[in-house]
Amino acid sequence: MRALRKTDRSPGAELVEIEIPTPGDDEVLVRVHGASICGTDLHMLEWNEWAHKRVGRVPMTFGHEVAGTVQAVGDEVHHLQAGAFVAAETHIACGRCSTCQTGRAHICENLEILGVDTEGAFAEYVVLPAQNAWVVGEGIDADVASIMEPFGNAVHATFGTGGGEDIATGVVAVIGCGPIGMFAVGVARSLGAFKVIAIEPNDYRRQKAAEMGADVLVDPTETDPVDAVLEQTKAAGAEVVLEMSGNARAIDQGTRMLARGGRMSLLGLPDSSVTLDLNDQVIFKEARLQGITGREMFRTWQQTTTLLSTGRVDVSPVITHRFPLDRWQDAFDTTASGSSGKVILMPDGTGSDRAPT
Amino acid sequence: MRALRKTDRSPGAELVEIEIPTPGDDEVLVRVHGASICGTDLHMLEWNEWAHKRVGRVPMTFGHEVAGTVQAVGDEVHHLQAGAFVAAETHIACGRCSTCQTGRAHICENLEILGVDTEGAFAEYVVLPAQNAWVVGEGIDADVASIMEPFGNAVHATFGTGGGEDIATGVVAVIGCGPIGMFAVGVARSLGAFKVIAIEPNDYRRQKAAEMGADVLVDPTETDPVDAVLEQTKAAGAEVVLEMSGNARAIDQGTRMLARGGRMSLLGLPDSSVTLDLNDQVIFKEARLQGITGREMFRTWQQTTTLLSTGRVDVSPVITHRFPLDRWQDAFDTTASGSSGKVILMPDGTGSDRAPT
Amino acid sequence: MRALRKTDRSPGAELVEIEIPTPGDDEVLVRVHGASICGTDLHMLEWNEWAHKRVGRVPMTFGHEVAGTVQAVGDEVHHLQAGAFVAAETHIACGRCSTCQTGRAHICENLEILGVDTEGAFAEYVVLPAQNAWVVGEGIDADVASIMEPFGNAVHATFGTGGGEDIATGVVAVIGCGPIGMFAVGVARSLGAFKVIAIEPNDYRRQKAAEMGADVLVDPTETDPVDAVLEQTKAAGAEVVLEMSGNARAIDQGTRMLARGGRMSLLGLPDSSVTLDLNDQVIFKEARLQGITGREMFRTWQQTTTLLSTGRVDVSPVITHRFPLDRWQDAFDTTASGSSGKVILMPDGTGSDRAPT
Amino acid sequence: MRALRKTDRSPGAELVEIEIPTPGDDEVLVRVHGASICGTDLHMLEWNEWAHKRVGRVPMTFGHEVAGTVQAVGDEVHHLQAGAFVAAETHIACGRCSTCQTGRAHICENLEILGVDTEGAFAEYVVLPAQNAWVVGEGIDADVASIMEPFGNAVHATFGTGGGEDIATGVVAVIGCGPIGMFAVGVARSLGAFKVIAIEPNDYRRQKAAEMGADVLVDPTETDPVDAVLEQTKAAGAEVVLEMSGNARAIDQGTRMLARGGRMSLLGLPDSSVTLDLNDQVIFKEARLQGITGREMFRTWQQTTTLLSTGRVDVSPVITHRFPLDRWQDAFDTTASGSSGKVILMPDGTGSDRAPT
């Protein structure tokens, strides 16, 4: 099969021919329909400092946001059969540690990530642990299924670790409108937010946030986003801030636009340490900073399925490009261009550079 | 002023001329714009068993769902001025008991109800405790403001005492679609419910539920509602049941249509004790039965304001009739007819029997 | 091996010799050290109406509260080895249904119960699904480990499905002080309850509740328990009621002794339907009735381990008798006598009728 | 009356004779029995940078942790009479802003602090808003009542803004064992923590933490506290960290000792911005940083009353010194010495430098 692989601990990747893998006893073999490109994949292609430190295994196929059809199952797999169309939960949990045993497998103490720690999905076939294969039900377009994983990030960040009760009827500020931020705008909107304020410097992305339902758009290069949020809220601040940028300055601004008693979900990954005014922005306001990673297994997948299958959230504005696997370089360039939403590689030959129907 | 009063401990009421009341030190005098009719008011008019037991004070003006303009304030009232347009929270709390002291004034140990324990609002003027006057902001139609109180019941029942996290993406069954049930359909819909199932025998009301956004309509005289909900949920049941009927059989059915781990908000008041299968329907399912009364003071009012002022919920299908005060008998007859939503008395002379614009 | 089996769909049981079972691929074989007797086991012995309806499989070894040493593991079991000392979670969950997928396996849609639906533990050996074997760590006496399952019931009921925040500094009434009620007294006490009120007609059990830390003892045959709780709380009622009796009248009383905004955990199983005054005792008080079954898998087991291994709760007053397997009739008689706490059968020959050291 | 006042915007204070104040309409006049010294009072005495920026009103009597007897009440005060013994909630809330209206008055948008923004309590008499006077019930020693306010800080930090469900059976690390940290050790212990780890460089204070029930003592000048907590928890980290030091380095360490999914309550006030590794210590771990200030009005006061009046927490090890008002300089020196717990000024002449009985 063809697979897009990191072959060296340096920038670049190679599309090579390798053996179709064989699933282990508790694994399934999936023929990949779509595999979308994540910021992490860009980092691995470019082999930035994070990739250099984090990735131990080279050569390795990368890519992890994936959906496709089960082709074969291992001997210990009893609940899935060949033919099932599945999307991948990419957090591979041990099932035995304390967090796994208390329903929080997504922060497993022994966590591995598909396509980062294990052979990934930019290939014609991928092997998944059977427990990581989520059966995609009716009402979700097959082409869209590979984005259930990053959409799930947005869902989990929006609900937070509580129940998202602060979203309904609250003011929600989304900082950073890459694809996950765009999704978060749509999720917050569908859960009854009073007002969704999207903060994003890139014109294209800000426009996409508007298409996803943002009530207010803020270009932080033109307007101070803290001022903008305070003005929109009569100085009270936003009940919820969804931090998707990973920008240290934006995170600090996030604390400053937060209402008393507010909650900031931190999902964007800053590339170094972050300096905060805890006194005035967190302690006296009794604000809450909540780290968010992955998706709750599998509450978030149920929520994701509901939001997508009912059309409560229409992600079509975000799915901007599809490419066949051999045009991977174009796909990565498009992802990096800043003028794209989600870009999907279609290793089964169904992809093209047209927008999805 | 003219006031509609219970003058005897027997069926009926009288529209009489009485003195305009004077507000006490911590009270405000409100010129009534609209006062909508509640089921409780019907009971008081008809003087049923509940009214006979519950109401101690006769003669008394009744009516409690009210909005109007502050005319005068007492000496100890410092935060409200004449001219403010306010709606009434009808639960009069002591502010000093244990529940009041812990932010749960709506279940105050010394609770009194406007128009039941104190002089009410079917009159040209009403006196309110200053703390019970909620300033109605922009975006809410004055004619509609008197229904903020029962709408708030629906909001509180839907959110529950937690945060309503089970509403977003869950299946919600609303049992009984009188006005509060109709409102609840709209609230659940606006908070991102996966599916809203409205159960109501009256054709007119069921149609109103549809207008408010119900996805599925069930006539329990035609179809077993438990079967209907189980069929709609692939036998899993509804995550949330909002019980608005007060019908003992319907409450039992509510427990049977509830999903494992589900929540039933009980707001409808049964007129006698209720028999339940706790074993199979509550204990083994770990279901939760949650009593709901009034509105959280004033979280629910903030939520109500958001939902109404943004148009997230459009209550216009529910506001079906308006009458001047002297046509009170027509107004009550219309309320009792089963072919009405909310009926509003307009003591300031602006009412008519046309639907509101 | 010797096994105590139901051999007929009628009262009685037989201690018979059968083959040692072989574990399946994902199962483990456990040599039983202790197997304690539950009310369910009494019902199965006596073959009451519940047993007649519920139990489908006869002949079958019964008993489910069990701890012992792993002797052998199936081919698909990778995290447990022979020699491990384990206690059994007795709820056998499918792992695939909606509730399992959202961290609520204890209310699995396809739930089976060890020793009720499957071959049980009153035997020298028992086979468990590997995922149901909880490794008992240091600090918990081997003789006591078989009671971790019913102790876990008490822990789960006390914490409730929230976080038990109402226990700390609240008034807790425990209705019914069989072994699980006795345990619950100790758990509530260790979590910082303001006052624990134990309600139990049996003198022996009430005394045991005192030994477990009850602050107030109420004999409901002498004193009205509702009056007693209201008196102890200056008429406010108990923030938490833990209903362990399954007695219909006591459940009704439980609602009447509950504070405004209070919570009643329902664990005791009434043998028929229950009639409640929902109006005054649930709706107007915004009380919450919460069904409780089993143990959260495995949050409750972690809590149980902490409480027992640290000595926060000392269960020794409750462990009143141990018997060898061939004295099973004495063990059941003792259990039924009303003058016992927990009675443990010791199929490995270590038991005796002395109290544990 | 005698009052200890800041008379200049510079270090120092003066004990002067001033008029006994007169309560306003909604205020009460309290004869001060005890007024304990807080770190804030030290800052005001020393007139450090914080005081210079924060304090607007000079001359002013300072001091805010106070209890005493009501002498007179204003015209609008109807629920309190002269003779009541009260402790002061020191957060003066407006009652009308959004946070006040949703039961979070302690983070009122218009918050004022007794003795910082208004005339304080190091005096023979103090005026309090009537709503800030908490009646001290039976079972709490009058001498101890003035520490209910800082004890409440510890209670609120320990419970957090949820319900403290992570305390019960969890590992709790307390960073910084000044008086509030000492109290927090006792509170966590009484709520069923699995293990309480006290981290404090000062030998005297660390010893006090031990007296309050700490299971493990860590001197961070001898042992790396992150290593110590990880070692005590088999590398899992603490479920709850209570940050009482306000030390920037300790706050960073707090995030590093936190378990996956853990919660850090931030109460200590850092004197400048704080740099954190959000990536590894917050986001990937899904940790929660929760600002804590003041006390929930008045849930925390109810909890405080319970814990103190029942003896669940015995604060006597923390109350180390009492002084008459004229020995205020000795009292402040003792507070600053690092060899004291809580130091109480007794303006009514009952104080002495002996430890309380």
- The DSSP result for D74-127, as a single string, is -TT--S--TT-EEEE--EE--S-SHHHHTT-GGG-TT-EEBTTTB--SSBSEEE
* Residue C155 backbone dihedrals phi, psi, to 5 degrees: -65, -45
**D163/C162 touch (CB, cutoff 8 Å), yes or no:** yes
Nearest residue to D271 (alpha-carbon basis) of D46, D56, D62, D92: D46
- Average pLDDT estimate for D313-333: 97
Residue in the structure block whose two tokens are 């045009």: A327
Q: Pick from A26, A96, A102: which is nearest to C79 by CB?
A: A96
**Token reading at B210:** 């549809």
Helix (H, G, I), strand (E, B) or coil at A177: coil
Distances (CA, A) of D170 to A98, A293, C152, D265: 12, 23, 16, 14
How confident is the model at residue D165, as a pLDDT? 78
Are C321 and C343 in contact, with CB atoms under 8 Å apart? yes
For chain C, strand residue ranges (E) read: 2-6, 14-17, 27-36, 60-61, 65-73, 85-88, 91-92, 112-113, 125-129, 133-135, 171-175, 195-199, 216-218, 238-243, 258-266, 274-276, 288-291, 319-324, 342-346
CA B96 – CA B109 distance, rounded (Å): 9
Report whether pLDDT(D208) > 50. Answer: yes
CB atoms within 10 A of CB B254: 31
Contacts of C96 in chain A (CB under 8 A): 79
CB atoms within 10 A of CB A317: 17
Report whether pLDDT(C241) > 50. Answer: yes
**Count of H helices and E strands in chain B?**
11, 19
What global pTM score does this model have? 0.96
CA C1 – CA C21 distance, rounded (Å): 9
* Residue D326 backbone dihedrals phi, psi, to 5 degrees: -70, -15
**Token reading at A168:** 């309904």
Distance from CA of B36 to the nearest CA of A (A): 25
For chain B, strand residue ranges (E) read: 2-6, 14-17, 27-36, 60-61, 65-73, 85-88, 91-92, 112-113, 125-129, 133-135, 171-175, 195-199, 216-218, 238-243, 258-266, 274-276, 288-291, 319-324, 342-346
**C303/D168 touch (CB, cutoff 8 Å), yes or no:** yes
Report whether pLDDT(A336) > 90. Answer: yes
Nearest residue to C77 (alpha-carbon basis) of C33, C132, C28, C144: C28
Q: Residue D217: beta bridge partners?
A: D198
Contact residues for C184 (Cβ-Cβ < 8 A; gap 6+):
C154, C157, C158, C174, C242, C244
Q: Which is more confidently placed, A343 or D169? A: A343
User: Please, is B92 exposed, middle or buried when counting C-beta atoms within 10 Å of its C-beta (0-12, 13-18, 19+)?
Assistant: buried
Residue in the structure block whose two tokens are 């696997």: A325
Are D281 and D226 in contact, with CB atoms under 8 Å apart? no
CA neighbours closer than 13 Å in the CB half-sphere of residue C116 = 22
Report whether pLDDT(D64) > 90. Answer: yes
Distance from CA of A168 to the nearest CA of D (A): 15
Distances (CA, A) of C102 to B27, B85, B230: 50, 47, 20
CA B347 – CA A196 distance, rounded (Å): 39
- Average pLDDT estimate for D37-58: 95
User: Partners for A (CB, 8 Å, 3+ pairs)?
Assistant: B, C, D
CB atoms within 10 A of CB D12: 11
Least confident span in A188-197, C158-167, C176-185, D126-135? C158-167
CA neighbours closer than 13 Å in the CB half-sphere of residue D110 = 8
How confident is the model at residue A356, as a pLDDT? 40
**Token reading at A320:** 């901007």
Per-residue pLDDT of C43-60, as tens digits, reads 999 999 999 999 998 999
How confident is the model at residue B190, as a pLDDT? 95
Q: Which residues of A touch D (CB under 8 A)?
A: 98-99, 104, 106-107, 109, 161, 236, 251, 260-261, 266-267, 269-270, 273-279, 282-293
**Token reading at B316:** 């216009």
Indicate which of C102, C104, C107, C131 best probes the interface with A, i.e. most A CBs within 10 Å of its own CB.
C102
Are C20 and C13 in contact, with CB atoms under 8 Å apart? no
CA C163 – CA C9 distance, rounded (Å): 42
- Average pLDDT estimate for C145-174: 93
**Nearest residue in chain A measured CA to CA from D233:** A98
CB atoms within 10 A of CB C272: 10
**A102/C26 touch (CB, cutoff 8 Å), yes or no:** no
How confident is the model at residue C244, as a pLDDT? 98
User: Average pLDDT of chain D?
Assistant: 95
- Average pLDDT estimate for C96-113: 96
**Nearest residue in chain C measured CA to CA from B277:** C273
**C191/D191 touch (CB, cutoff 8 Å), yes or no:** yes
**B290/C291 touch (CB, cutoff 8 Å), yes or no:** no
Percent of chain D past pLDDT 90, that is, above it, reads 93
User: Please, is C277 exposed, middle or buried when counting C-beta atoms within 10 Å of its C-beta (0-12, 13-18, 19+)?
Assistant: middle
- Average pLDDT estimate for D331-357: 81
Distance from CA of D163 to the nearest CA of C (A): 4
Report whether pLDDT(A357) > 70. Answer: no
CA C201 – CA C175 distance, rounded (Å): 10
Nearest residue to C202 (alpha-carbon basis) of C221, C226, C174: C221
Per-residue pLDDT of A237-265, as tens digits, reads 999 999 999 999 999 999 999 999 999 99
Per-residue pLDDT of C270-290, as tens digits, reads 989 999 999 999 999 999 999
Q: Pick from A102, A298, A299: which is nearest to C299 by CB?
A: A102
CB atoms within 10 A of CB A350: 13
Helix (H, G, I), strand (E, B) or coil at C344: strand
Per-residue pLDDT of A70-129, as tens digits, reads 999 999 999 999 999 999 999 999 999 999 999 999 999 999 999 999 999 999 999 999
- Average pLDDT estimate for A9-15: 97
Are A345 and A34 in contact, with CB atoms under 8 Å apart? yes
Report whether pLDDT(C339) > 60. Answer: yes
Contact residues for D53 (Cβ-Cβ < 8 A; gap 6+):
none
Contact residues for C96 (Cβ-Cβ < 8 A; gap 6+):
A79
Per-residue pLDDT of C129-157, as tens digits, reads 999 999 998 999 998 899 999 999 999 99
Q: How far apart are the first and last CA of chain B?
A: 28
Q: Pick from D102, D296, D297: which is nearest to B302 by CB?
A: D102
The conformational region for residue A192 under phi > 0 = left, psi -120 to 50 = alpha, else beta, is left
User: Please, is B73 exposed, middle or buried when counting C-beta atoms within 10 Å of its C-beta (0-12, 13-18, 19+)?
Assistant: buried
Report whether pLDDT(C80) > 50. Answer: yes
DSSP per position, C59-106: SEE---EEEEEEEEE-TT--S--TT-EEEE--EE--S-SHHHHTT-GG
Q: Residue D240: beta bridge partners?
A: D172, D263
CA D175 – CA A176 distance, rounded (Å): 35
CA-CA-CA-CA dihedral for A40, A43, A49, A52, to nearest 10 = 80
- Give the active site residues of B: 40, 43
CA neighbours closer than 13 Å in the CB half-sphere of residue D216 = 22
Helix (H, G, I), strand (E, B) or coil at B105: helix
CA C6 – CA C118 distance, rounded (Å): 12
Nearest residue to B144 (alpha-carbon basis) of B313, B328, B2, B21: B313
Contacts of B139 in chain A (CB under 8 A): none
How far is Cα of residue D51 from the mean position of the Cα atoms in its chain?
18
How confident is the model at residue D269, as a pLDDT? 96
**B302/D96 touch (CB, cutoff 8 Å), yes or no:** no
DSSP per position, D172-223: EEEE--SHHHHHHHHHHHHTT-SEEEEE-S-HHHHHHHHHTT-SEEE-TTTS
Indicate which of B75, B79, B101 best probes the interface with D, i.e. most D CBs within 10 Å of its own CB.
B101
Q: pLDDT tens digits, chain B, 357 residues: what are they?
A: 999 999 999 999 999 999 999 999 999 999 999 999 999 999 999 999 999 999 998 999 999 999 999 999 999 999 999 999 999 999 999 999 999 999 999 999 999 999 999 999 999 999 999 999 999 989 999 988 999 999 999 999 999 987 777 898 899 999 999 999 999 999 999 999 999 999 999 999 999 999 999 999 999 999 999 999 999 999 999 999 999 999 999 999 999 999 999 999 999 999 899 999 999 999 999 999 999 999 999 999 999 999 999 999 999 999 999 999 999 999 999 999 999 999 999 998 875 443 443
**B192/A194 touch (CB, cutoff 8 Å), yes or no:** no
Per-residue pLDDT of D248-264, as tens digits, reads 999 999 999 999 999 99
pLDDT band at C165 (very low <50, low <70, confident <90, very high): confident
CA D85 – CA D92 distance, rounded (Å): 19
Contact residues for A294 (Cβ-Cβ < 8 A; gap 6+):
A90, A91, A106, A107, A152, A153, A156
User: Partners for D (CB, 8 Å, 3+ pairs)?
Assistant: A, B, C
